[in-house]
Amino acid sequence: MRTIITKSAIISLLLFITISCNRNSLTHDASGIFEATEIIVSAEASGKIEQFDVIEGNVLTAGQRLGYIDTTQLYLQKLLLQTSGKAVSARRPDISAQIASTKEQITKAELEHTRISNLLRDGAATQKQMDDAESQLRVLQKTLAAQLNSLTTSTNSIDTESSAYEIQVAQIEDKLRKSHIVNPIDGTVLTKYAEAKEMTIPGQPLYKIADTRHLFLRAYIVSPQLEKVKIGQSAAIFVNSVDEGQKTYQGTVSWISDKAEFTPKTIQTHDERQNLVYAVKIAVENVDGLIKIGMYGDVDFNNSGK
């Protein structure tokens, strides 16, 4: 036997469900809609998206690699900079080797100066010989000082140039890291905005993800309730599940608006005569994953164990 459902019967059924839900909402302190912290993940590099393993509805973990943007040109730039940096470093002088000869001459000159000084004391050398030895020693010492100054200046210049290349390499490495698409938080992919093989630029959205484990119920309370609700206060959250009936979750008031607003049309309040309401957020752990973004929920503030 076929059952024929008329249009009027369907409307009557929907009205019955709506009225039942409204009555259920009014038995609690407030009602609202579940929301989540949503993040739009955007590209940080420009180029072709070579790999992009994102599917709407997938559950991702923080730090999970999802793909990458073409890095060929960046890699080649890095190689070029590293090669140039090595060439610059190769020009760095070996100070010890270059002043070794002068230091050896100074050592000999000092010995000669000592020898002539002894001879002069014994009357076996002239003052002119002593003056010549001292002059020779001073010349060599000045030569060494000039060499050290020149070599130090050259080394500092090369070090500066080498550091500039190192900084440029670090910049390229940062760009290479940003070419990898890495998921920032644990959550569920809500929307995918890009596909592999498409071109992208920095700031272009790739996908939207929401933390569906840590949700909050945005509910609305009237003025008389405001003084009874405080941040940090515990609350009981009631959710109707098709498979498991009404479920209760423990929540905590995390935010209370400081401005009144007109009652949203989709929300039932504790006192329908009140036109202005205050929004509140109740944080709740979605431990079993049954709560979905956009679902309705009811809340009791004064009896969290209900």
What pLDDT score was predicted for residue 206?
A: 98
Q: How far apart are the first and last CA of the chain?
A: 45
Phi, psi values for residue 144, rounded to 5°: -65, -45
What pLDDT score was predicted for residue 227?
A: 86
Query: What is the Cα–Cα distance from 191 to 42, expressed in whole angstroms?
Result: 12
What pLDDT score was predicted for residue 261?
A: 85
Q: How far is CA 198 from CA 47, 125, 144, 182, 201, in A?
A: 8, 92, 64, 18, 10
Q: Is residue 31 within 8 Å of 239, Cβ to Cβ? A: no
| Series of mean pLDDT values for 10-residue runs along the chain (306 residues) | 36 37 63 95 98 97 98 96 95 92 94 92 90 94 94 94 96 97 97 98 98 95 89 94 85 93 66 75 94 94 56
Residues with Cβ within 8 Å of 82's Cβ and at least 6 positions away in sequence, in order, are 165, 169
What pLDDT score was predicted for residue 3?
A: 35
Phi, psi values for residue 177, rounded to 5°: -65, -40
**Torsion sign over Cα 42, 44, 49, 50:** negative
